[in-house]
Amino acid sequence: MMDLDRNDFADAVSARAAQWNSAGVRWELHYGPLRDKSAAWIAADLNACLDELTDRLTSTPTGT
């Protein structure tokens, strides 16, 4: 298991935010309550990205 505090996690998320946004990923960073083992997580909606990828894969002519 990786030992990563909430601030380090938030920094890692922030470092990737521009890439995710430009890729069309809708995401939110969430924090749980402060306690001995506090938590943070990302909620992401990848449907837009998957729709675009599916569209690209099905509209690209084979052999290119």
The candidate with the shortest Cα–Cα distance to 27, out of 3, 48, 52, is 48
**pTM confidence score:** 0.59
Q: What is the CA radius of gyration of the chain?
A: 17
Convert the pLDDT of each residue in 25-62 to its tens digit: 888 999 988 887 778 888 888 776 677 667 767 775 65
Convert the pLDDT of each residue in 12-28 to its tens digit: 888 988 988 887 788 89
Q: Where are the domains of the chain?
A: 6-59
Distance CA 61, CA 56 (A): 10
Distance CA 22, CA 27 (A): 12
Distance CA 46, CA 22 (A): 13
| Ramachandran angles phi, psi of 49, nearest 5° | -65, -45
